[in-house]
């Protein structure tokens, strides 16, 4: 079968700091060019041909994964004022139906929005409820039909079921309702960079063209958002960049008033704010690398009035918090695992919720009411499907509301989860969470898939996956590398995996791969790696550093052309990420990122088998990055291993939309891996 032609017709010389790089595939960044589309289609055709013999396996995997899902599943309702809100699916349908009941769970159902109806006529469809008015009579609904996360916001009268004439087009989908039930605030993104940078005020019944600009963020490294506090007292505007935060607030009863700054931005000062009674509660890294909790009067919120509530702890990352009338709930991370900490305001006995598995993920769910003793949280592990609980913080009684069902012959007692630690090149111990079926024969014989991300301070959680069972039941071990660049072991763990220490992320992942082999969990000839987005950068960097380590690699929407992208401030995300990767306009950062950028370091050597996926409308990692990378690899690599790329021509960063359609892409990747271990 012929490989797609190498698209090197229009080389471009790129210059920075006196250094000249020649990019023969630069022209692939022209999304509207028919030759580019033709090239992507040829790669798709080639992928289908290479994997044609796995089509039956792909279909079997898809049906298997789909068949584990409850066809008419529903979320656990949560209470907000006099209503119970929830979503549900109907058998065979792709999209959620959002509903509510008034006064009691025994009341009649009211459908707020049916995604299956709204999605008709669209190949790609994504939507969410942006917010409901204070009187619960009006709904803001955000819809994206392309995959670039550019939404149109529509408004629905829930009493009549009619859509209002108001429609706000090409915005972020973030909406906050004022207390008059007629005014909304929303954020708008830049047309080219897609950076959210403006907040507008809209009054229902008026022309959106006349909406009032209430705030504009002029610093191109910041992005903004707007939301309403749980107390319903304030509209908040957040301005955020990687290292710095600033919040503004406005009384929700006075929508035409002026926003006030809570605390002026200061370089490397990150904070977030919530409201309770007469104070703002501030989660801050001021003199606290792992964050501490402060409070300050609403009338005098500046930092000189801050009072410490929870002190900084060197071994505990304070991630977030929730406020109730009688309790403060803290979400902490210690030794890589989430802890839920209950603290009564009256100073009586504080305590932690108990979780007894070696690797798990616990998190807070919808806790929208102040005056309650019930805490809604979820728990999952690599062997346990998600369970939703109500926990009475007074009596300490834990009530299971729902555990996600896995259809078929699933029995969680057949699986075992473990926690390991690999030693990195500099002696740092890097946690690994793994799961496998008990009957799987280890002793260096099993195939193992190692997953990693390692950027933006995002921790990789040891959670359950129904799709993953298709690998575990076929003898795979699945492992997660918790390397630096995430925040798994606290804020320093993140700090030592970015900017001029970014290579720690890559060498940590390599150490994890070597460790699972050395400890007998993986056959060295059946070791695989998977990562997406910034995790795709990880895949590319690791392939260049240790092309011999992995048999096969899956790279989803990979960020692989680091230098060229970070030098182009006209595309989405670039300016807001200088504090993550560095600003290559500074020579030291240019040289450092050039030394690891996967695209720039492709060599004439043998590489692992590689499956790359992307989306034509991806707004976060533009499709041309993986396209260029694959073209360059195809031209330079010296092996005959598989190199295939699948471009979803109708989707963006998240891949296919819909509850079930997404699993076609999962099945493709699983078939790619399983075919390599036959």
Residue 272 annotated as catalytic: no
- Helix, strand, coil distribution of the chain in percent, nearest 5: 20, 35, 45
Instruction: Tell me if 567 is assigned to some domain.
Output: yes
Provide the pLDDT for residue 191: 81
Q: Catalytic: which of 223, 275, 617, 653?
A: 653
Q: Which residues contact 339 (CB under 8 A, 6 or more apart)?
A: 316, 331, 332, 333, 352, 353, 362
Instruction: Tell me if 283 is assigned to some domain.
Output: no
Residue 618 annotated as catalytic: yes
Instruction: Tell me if 313 is assigned to some domain.
Output: no
User: Mean pLDDT, to the nearest integer, of 460-467?
Assistant: 95
**Contact assessment for residue 575 and residue 583, using Cβ atoms and an 8 Å cutoff:** no
* pLDDT tens track for 388-431: 999 999 999 999 999 999 999 999 999 999 999 999 999 999 99
Three-state DSSP class for 539?
Answer: helix
Instruction: Tell me if 1 is assigned to some domain.
Output: no
Provide the pLDDT for residue 6: 66
- CA proximity to 619, closest of 584, 663, 666, 654: 654
- Inform me whether the pLDDT recorded for 7 exceeds 70: no
- Inform me whether the pLDDT recorded for 573 exceeds 80: no
Provide the pLDDT for residue 311: 97
Backbone phi and psi for residue 540, each to the nearest 5 degrees, phi listed first: -65, -40
* pLDDT tens track for 193-246: 888 999 999 999 999 999 999 999 999 889 999 999 999 999 999 999 988 999
* pLDDT tens track for 507-559: 999 999 999 999 999 999 999 999 999 999 999 999 999 999 999 999 999 99
Q: Which residues contact 364 (CB under 8 A, 6 or more apart)?
A: 320, 322, 329, 331, 340, 375, 376, 377
* Phi-psi map region of 673: left, alpha, beta (phi>0 left; psi -120 to 50 alpha): alpha
Report the alpha-carbon distance of residue 178 to residue 201 in Å, rounded.
10
Q: Catalytic: which of 618, 619, 657, 664?
A: 618
User: Mean pLDDT, to the nearest integer, of 314-322?
Assistant: 95
In 378-485, where does DSSP find H-type helix?
Answer: 469-472
Provide the pLDDT for residue 657: 54
- Inform me whether the pLDDT recorded for 562 exceeds 90: yes
* CB-CB neighbours of 18 under 10 Å: 6
User: Mean pLDDT, to the nearest integer, of 35-48?
Assistant: 94
- Inform me whether the pLDDT recorded for 262 exceeds 70: yes
- Inform me whether the pLDDT recorded for 652 exceeds 60: no
User: Mean pLDDT, to the nearest integer, of 33-51?
Assistant: 94
Bridge partners (DSSP) listed for residue 238: 225, 247
Three-state DSSP class for 13?
Answer: strand
User: Mean pLDDT, to the nearest integer, of 475-488?
Assistant: 97
- CA proximity to 304, closest of 350, 262, 364, 255: 262
Q: Catalytic: which of 533, 597, 619, 657?
A: 533
Show the domain range for 560: 412-676
Residue 653 annotated as catalytic: yes
Least confident of 128-137, 586-595, 652-661: 652-661
User: SS3 letters for 204-217?
Assistant: CCCCHHHCEEEEEC
Instruction: Tell me if 486 is assigned to some domain.
Output: yes
CATH number of the domain enclosing 419: 3.40.50.1820
What's the mean per-residue pLDDT of the chain? 93
* pLDDT confidence tier of residue 570, bands split at 50, 70 and 90: confident
Instruction: Tell me if 72 is assigned to some domain.
Output: no
Strand arrangement of the beta sheet that strand 196-203 belongs to:
175-177, 183-189, 196-203, 212-216
Provide the pLDDT for residue 230: 94
- Inform me whether the pLDDT recorded for 485 exceeds 80: yes
- Inform me whether the pLDDT recorded for 653 exceeds 70: no
Element (H, E) at 127: strand 126-132
Provide the pLDDT for residue 359: 86
Least confident of 443-452, 648-657, 660-669: 648-657
Q: What percentage of the chain has pLDDT greater than the value 90? A: 84
* pLDDT tens track for 583-608: 999 999 999 999 999 999 999 999 99
* pLDDT confidence tier of residue 13, bands split at 50, 70 and 90: confident
Provide the pLDDT for residue 654: 54
DSSP code for 353: -
- CA proximity to 153, closest of 195, 190, 116, 202: 202
Domain count, the chain: 1
* pLDDT confidence tier of residue 280, bands split at 50, 70 and 90: very high
Which of the pair, 651 or 57, is modelled with greater confidence?
A: 57
Report the alpha-carbon distance of residue 105 to residue 27 in Å, rounded.
58
Instruction: Tell me if 405 is assigned to some domain.
Output: no
Instruction: Tell me if 426 is assigned to some domain.
Output: yes
* pLDDT tens track for 186-195: 999 998 888 8
Which of the pair, 617 or 491, is modelled with greater confidence?
A: 491
Three-state DSSP class for 71?
Answer: coil
**Contact assessment for residue 21 and residue 600, using Cβ atoms and an 8 Å cutoff:** yes
**Tokens at residue 88, please?**
């549900």
């Amino acid at each position: 079968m012929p490989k797609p032609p190498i698209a090197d017709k229009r080389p471009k010389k790129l210059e920075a700091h006196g250094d000249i790089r020649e990019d023969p595939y630069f022209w692939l960044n022209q999304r509207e060019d028919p030759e580019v589309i033709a090239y992507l289609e040829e790669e798709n055709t080639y992928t289908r041909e290479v994997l044609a013999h796995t089509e039956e396996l792909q279909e079997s995997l898809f049906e298997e994964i789909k068949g584990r899902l409850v066809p008419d599943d529903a979320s656990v309702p949560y209470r907000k004022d006099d209503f119970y809100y929830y979503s549900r699916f109907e058998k065979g349908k792709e999209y959620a139906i959002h509903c509510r009941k008034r006064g009691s769970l025994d009341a009649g159902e009211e459908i707020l929005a049916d995604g299956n109806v709204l999605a008709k006529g669209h190949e790609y469809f994504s939507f969410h409820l942006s917010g409901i008015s204070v009187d619960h009579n009006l709904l803001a609904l955000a819809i994206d039909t392309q995959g670039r996360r550019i939404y149109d916001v529509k408004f629905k009268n829930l009493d009549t079921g009619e859509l209002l004439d108001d429609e706000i087009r090409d915005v972020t989908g973030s909406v906050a309702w004022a207390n008059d039930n007629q005014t909304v605030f929303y954020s708008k993104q830049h047309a080219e960079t897609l950076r959210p940078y403006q907040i507008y005020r809209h009054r229902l019944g008026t022309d959106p063209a006349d909406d009032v600009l209430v705030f504009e963020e002029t610093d191109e490294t910041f992005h903004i958002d707007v939301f309403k506090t749980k107390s319903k007292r304030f509209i908040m505007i957040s301005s955020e960049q990687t290292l710095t935060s600033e919040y503004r607030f406005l009384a929700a009863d006075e929508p035409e008033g002026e926003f006030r700054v809570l605390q002026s931005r200061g370089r490397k000062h990150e904070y977030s704010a919530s409201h309770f009674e007469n104070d703002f509660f501030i989660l801050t890294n001021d003199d606290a690398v792992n964050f501490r909790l402060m409070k300050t009067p609403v009338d005098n919120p500046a930092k000189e009035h801050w009072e410490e509530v929870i002190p900084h702890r060197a071994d505990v990352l304070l991630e977030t918090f929730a406020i109730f009338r009688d309790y403060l709930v803290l979400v902490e991370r210690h030794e890589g695992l989430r802890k839920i900490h209950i603290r009564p305001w009256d100073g009586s006995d504080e305590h932690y919720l108990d979780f007894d598995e070696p690797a798990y993920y616990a998190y807070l769910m919808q806790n929208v009411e102040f005056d309650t003793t019930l805490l809604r949280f979820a728990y999952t592990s690599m062997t346990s499907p998600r369970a939703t609980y109500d926990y009475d913080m007074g009596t300490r009684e834990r009530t299971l509301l729902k555990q996600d069902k896995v259809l078929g012959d699933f029995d969680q007692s057949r699986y075992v989860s473990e926690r390991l630690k690999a030693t990195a090149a500099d002696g740092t111990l890097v946690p690994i969470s793994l799961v496998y079926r008990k009957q799987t024969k280890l002793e260096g014989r099993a195939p193992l898939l190692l997953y990693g991300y390692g950027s933006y301070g995002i921790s990789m959680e040891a959670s359950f996956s129904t799709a993953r069972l298709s690998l575990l039941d076929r003898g795979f071990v699945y492992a997660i590398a918790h390397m630096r660049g995430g925040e798994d072991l606290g804020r320093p763990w993140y700090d030592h995996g970015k900017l001029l220490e970014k290579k720690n992320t890559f060498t940590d992942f390599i150490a994890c791969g070597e460790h699972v082999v050395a400890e007998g969990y993986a056959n060295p000839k059946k070791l695989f790696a998977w990562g997406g987005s910034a995790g795709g950068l990880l895949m590319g960097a690791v392939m260049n550093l240790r092309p011999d380590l992995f048999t096969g690699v899956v790279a989803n929407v990979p960020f692989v052309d680091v230098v060229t992208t970070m030098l182009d401030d006209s595309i989405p995300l670039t300016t807001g990420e200088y504090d993550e990767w560095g600003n290559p306009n500074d020579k030291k950062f240019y040289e450092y990122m050039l030394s690891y950028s996967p695209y720039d370091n492709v060599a004439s050597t043998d590489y692992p088998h590689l499956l790359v996926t992307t989306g034509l409308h991806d707004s976060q990692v533009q499709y041309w990055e993986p396209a260029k990378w694959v073209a360059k690899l195809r031209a330079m690599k010296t092996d005959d291993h598989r190199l295939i790329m699948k471009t979803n021509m109708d989707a963006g960063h998240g891949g296919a939309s819909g509850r079930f359609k997404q699993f076609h892409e999962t099945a493709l990747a699983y078939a790619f891996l399983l075919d390599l271990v036959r």
